[in-house]
Structure 1
Amino acid sequence: MKKLFLFLFFIANTIFAEAQFSLSDNHHFILKNQKPFVWIGDTAWELFHRLNREEADQYLKKRAEQGFTLIQAVVLAEFDGLHTPNPYGNTPLKNDDPTQPNESYFEHVDYIIQKAEEYGLTIGLLPTWGDKIWKSSWGTGPEIFNEVNAKIYGKWIGQRYKNKQHIIWILGGDRNPQNNQHIAIWRAMASGIEDGVGGSDKAFITFHPQPNQKGASEWFHDDKWLDFNMFQNGHCRDQAIYNKIYQAYLYQPIKPVLDAEPIYEDHPVCFNANDLGVSSAYDVRKYAYLDVFAGAFGHTYGCHDIWQFYAPNQEAVNNPHIYWQEALLLPGANQMKFLRKLIESYPITERIPDQSLIIENDLAAAERIQATRGSSYAWVYTAAGKAFTLVLGKISGKQLKAFWYDPKTGISKPSFVIENQGQQKMSPPSTGYGNDWVLVLEDTSNQK
């Protein structure tokens, strides 16, 4: 009996220790507990640094209610994160030394990570913002990492959270490596994290770059620790990030890809509010649908007032407009759940980008038409409600159920049936700026 108990105990602990995140069989999607994980993220970079426990609870609770699945946050934060204390008067390191973490600071990080788990949220955990490796012209720094202490810190923080199965590790922190030393430091930190959590198969890691052509893959695509590729788009309106996403979708070896820092809602467009204004819900919505339909496995939303948790008496960057509590209710954030609803309504891991579904398949971003499909369903996003020519026969079924899905409301228009052959002109319910629509097609033989 004792031997049986020990055996069952061993099995239970082995199962618990298994990595929660893995790749789908085709390596284009992420699985959580062997089921497709729909990444609908938010950039809450200063979450651990600026919010107290009650505020963090308010933020996480609301994002969970809004359908978000993942929160991106930084331990060694951007706003003088080494020297400006958190709300409880604690800084993260002693003597700016990554090998001397301050337990009191990390107890607050522990609390927030635990709260996220209670709300069913995954944490995209950045061990440090990139200015602690390369300060550049705008970072606070100081530059404190080298290969040796990066590995020690990575191992320490990996060990601390090795039993938290709702963490995805994100290196990079808005800095592109400038030389081989920077690359070596990031690799050392990744190696330390893997050691800390108990092996490479138990750490799920990516890299958050500045805008570039290949995302994280520019430096690390062949590194085994890089489980998926990330982009950011530079906060400009109507950039062809979907092309970068699709090119990355084709890289070998195959790895999932997404835009992890798109244009933020209520952000100065291209950092130039005087000439270009600030971004709208429509701006952030277009990136979400175009990127996902181009091959991204999920998407990160962001809000200019929230990433920095703008509040009275807080340092502010690039003129945020409203305090973060009010910004939680901006329309773009509330509309991300409609993308999640669409993704989860159909077989996820079989979906591929396919511009051959439409004749008008190479339009510019402002009026882009982007298509994706599974074996028995297809979606076509028209960014400005522009009519298009549908090429049929790409999915199964003699007849197809078709309907228009509104990304603004998550409401579908009444369905109609079309023959699954030849070509057919499709005209959305409305057209023009702000009138984006998704045409949804289903094999009627699969209907119950």
Structure 2
Amino acid sequence: MEKLTIEAWPVARLRSYTRQLRKNDKNIERMIACIQEFGFRVPILARPDGEVIDGDLRLKAAQKMGLESVPVIPAEGMSEEQVRAFRILANSSVAWSTWDDEVLAQELRDLWDADFNLELTGLELSEVEDLLQSIEPESQEQGDAVPETQAEPVVKPGDLWRLGEHFLFCGDSTKAESYEQLMQGREADMIWTDPPYNVDYEGTAGKIKNDSMSDSAFREFLERAFAGMFGAMKKGGAAYVAHADSEGVNFREAFRKAGFRFSNCLIWRKNVFVLGRADYQCQHEPILYGWKPGAAHSWLGGRKRRSVQELSELGAVKVAPDGTVSLFLNDRALHISGQNLEVQDLESSLVFEDKPQRSELHPTMKPVALVERFLKNSSRKGEVVLDPFGGSGTTLIACERTRRACRTIELDTKFADVIIRRWQEHTGKDAVLQSTGERFAMLEAANG
């Protein structure tokens, strides 16, 4: 076997092959970051005249970094045909094998625990998050299960569907006529909703509509949506709005402009983080809480709720100077003091609920239990809960389980189908098209 040598060549001596087999210019910065972290560990394979056979992206990174020399393996004695074939082989052989996802996930978990930058693995952040979540302990409450989608949606724009005591309208939640069709003269007693976050989120189920706008366009979108909600609910009705911190200003200002009274911001602490490019990886979501002025707001949650600021900075266990031991378990704070171990049990507004392990049918799906606790705090059985951004139908399922009547709007026909299928599988009942009396299952069968 030929003995290979590694030589240090001036970067100026090397040149890319004129026929670019792979489009890689957008990844130059990623390669630079890898070289800065690991060093130039993989030599470039080049012909004696400097033409690169393998390592074009590494060469481009070296040129942009201003490196004077790089390690090179000279390819001696290869014919023109061998060079062409090997160049293709070097780019295609990676597809010969597949990842062992379980082993890969464990490797990534070890790197994460060591606080290593996982972008330097070369994997996309969305892949990394999915892999890490795959090895988290399963925690799916009853009602969180969702059905598979079909290629051709049954629901059409403008449809109004009856699902037992609930109604689903397929339309635009920024338009007054959508609320008129949905509410049918009734007022909502409460709002729980999870609007688009304007972060261009895309999961395995696809992109969320209205989730990638300019700042001014998104603000206008929120103002129209909140105005519609405000007009559809009773005075004193409570409103909960899940949102992203990055758009917190737009959400709060649009919420107030519509006329809502903003009370405070609750925190949903997730059991897993959401991997992103921020310095601090998000393991929470904020939820605006307020109500429509004009009457005393409905509150059934008692007086033991505490502010996030009081509890969020404390660890699982804290010992006060007077010897009191505080234990934080899920949404309970246990304060233990004295020789007789006197325990005071407090509730917290720092809400702990597991994030759904998979959000394959809607990219930002919430756990049913999370929504249920807010429904119980601010509404009674039989009352109407409005959600103008239906998503995967979590609010509707929470209403079904707590015996509230849900009124929900979903713009995307695909996700409207998900809501109906999810409710049907949860209840064993049939959804009915309000205008014709046709059952969803019948129309689904006709779709083939």
- TM-score range (shorter-chain normalised) is under 0.3
Task: Pick the structure with greater CA Rg.
Answer: 2
TM-score (norm 2): 0.25
Q: Could you tell me the TM-score, scaled by structure 1's length?
A: 0.25
Which structure has more RCO (C-alpha within 8 Å, separation ≥ 6)?
A: 2
